[in-house]
Chains A and B, each alone.
Chain A
Amino acid sequence: MKKETIIAIFFGLLFGGVVAVFISLKSKDIELSKNKVIVPPAEKIVSPNSGGIEMQPLILTEPANNAIIEKNIIRFKGTAAKDSLMVIQSPIKDLIVKNTQEKFDLEFPLALGENSIKIVVYPKEKQFRPQEKFIKVYFIDSEL
């Protein structure tokens, strides 16, 4: 056997080995991505009288309860049932809006100091009960 042939066989085997290792690693990744656990979405509320209709619960992502804010305006962000009536009340402001989409992003003024805020969502489907949240937000001026 010629030496060139042996070298060719050697490099052929080496290249084959590299390709084999690459393919086995790649197939493992594909298998993992296929079998990965999918986190269930936020639990939806189902009314016993609603014939299986699900309702988006009120989720407030911003602001957090007892948050300290340095500005006199905050934004309420979160999700609530589509087409529900939202009432947000504080000592200085009453905000009534129809939540046309599930996500909401609403501007709300704050008074200096403590702000007790009640948020109530009245779903369009009358068989569902209103959902409520009560939070306290503190507006402490950064200049103080």
Chain B
Amino acid sequence: MIKNIKNCFIVTLLYFLLTGSIAIAQTPSVTASSSPTVAVDKDIQQLKDKIANKVSEIRKQNNKAISGFVLNIDENTMKLSTDGEVNQVKFDDALTKVFKVLGTTKKEIKKENISKNDYAIVSGVVTDNMITANVVLIDENFVADSGKITEINKDSYNIKVLTSDKNTYSLDIETTTKQYMVNIKTLLLETIGFSKLKEGDTVHFVVKKTGLEKGNNYSATKILIVPQEYFIK
């Protein structure tokens, strides 16, 4: 009887083994292409695409942008300073393109046209704390910030603004300064004059930095007032 059970078990085991091997044998094998060269070409193209994608991915990962005022510049390198930090930029004669930004357009210039104190934006690959420039844009440096008006000088058209990080800006409101106020009912922007400014109002502003300012005094490019009435309504 034990023999019978053994036989039964062996038969079951063999059945499973056989069905498994048949299933494996039935898995489709790679059939030879009728046209081997076409298949090889396709494989090569796929490999090329994969490599190109990988290279582009790695370049994108390592691609960074930095900006700052030009401290010094020589034939192959320049140093940029921003908020006390100094970054070194390397030019690649075959790769680096330099443009001057003129409002919404740009004009290609030579790197010899870059001068000290210019504001440069550099995009390129960073290696060993040095960025190899793909593109250099010479532009103006704008800063956007906000705070509360603490003082208004109607004689000199100047306002003092205290920001949330306890920084005090002195802003000159020029005739070219764009001045807007938020309509507290419609939230639309309305053009205003200097007389509409009040101490205690919240102001959002944009200033142009040249790197040569004394203290925190700037000429305001534009201001946007959120009147205090908005906060007490």
**Do B121 and A114 touch across chains, with their CB atoms under 8 A apart?**
yes
**Do A94 and B226 touch across chains, with their CB atoms under 8 A apart?**
no
A contact residues around B63 at 8 Å (CB): 68
In-complex Cβ contact of B145 among A112, A122, A129, A134 (8 A) = A134
**Do B187 and A7 touch across chains, with their CB atoms under 8 A apart?**
no
**Do A140 and B135 touch across chains, with their CB atoms under 8 A apart?**
yes
Q: Is B144 an interface residue (CB 8 A)?
A: yes
| Bound-complex Cα distance A144 to B107 (A) | 11
| Bound-complex Cα distance A58 to B233 (A) | 23
Main secondary structure of the interface of A (DSSP, over half): strand
**Do A6 and B1 touch across chains, with their CB atoms under 8 A apart?**
yes
**Do A112 and B106 touch across chains, with their CB atoms under 8 A apart?**
yes
How many residues on chain A are close to B (CB under 8 Å)? 33
A contact residues around B5 at 8 Å (CB): 3, 6-7, 10
B contact residues around A136 at 8 Å (CB): 67
Q: Is A55 an interface residue (CB 8 A)?
A: no
Q: Is B161 an interface residue (CB 8 A)?
A: no
In-complex Cβ contact of B64 among A66, A118, A120 (8 A) = A66
Q: Mark B171-193, 1 if CB is under 8 A from A, else 0.
A: 00000000010100001010000
Q: Is A77 an interface residue (CB 8 A)?
A: no
B contact residues around A94 at 8 Å (CB): 180, 189, 204, 222, 224
Q: Is A74 an interface residue (CB 8 A)?
A: no
A contact residues around B182 at 8 Å (CB): 87, 96
Q: Which of B185-222 contact A (CB under 8 A)?
A: 187, 189, 202, 204, 206, 221-222
Q: Is A98 an interface residue (CB 8 A)?
A: yes
Q: Mark A55-84, 1 if CB is under 8 A from B, else 0.
A: 000000000001010000000000000000
B contact residues around A91 at 8 Å (CB): 142, 144, 206, 221-222
Q: Is A12 an interface residue (CB 8 A)?
A: no
User: Which of A6, A96, A98: most chain B Cβ within 10 A?
Assistant: A96
| Bound-complex Cα distance A116 to B143 (A) | 6
| Bound-complex Cα distance A85 to B8 (A) | 80
Q: Mark B103-124, 1 if CB is under 8 A from A, else 0.
A: 0101000000000000001010
In-complex Cβ contact of B104 among A111, A116, A117, A132 (8 A) = A111
Q: Is B65 an interface residue (CB 8 A)?
A: yes
**Do A98 and B64 touch across chains, with their CB atoms under 8 A apart?**
no
B contact residues around A122 at 8 Å (CB): 202, 226, 230-231
**Do A134 and B144 touch across chains, with their CB atoms under 8 A apart?**
yes
| Bound-complex Cα distance A116 to B232 (A) | 30
- Shortest distance between the CB of A9 and any CB in chain B (Å): 10
> Given contacts A91-B206, A94-B224, A118-B204, could you give 17 more A-B pairs where the C-beta distance is less than 8 Å?
A3-B4, A87-B182, A87-B204, A89-B206, A89-B224, A90-B144, A91-B142, A91-B221, A94-B222, A111-B104, A116-B144, A116-B206, A122-B202, A138-B65, A140-B65, A140-B123, A144-B134
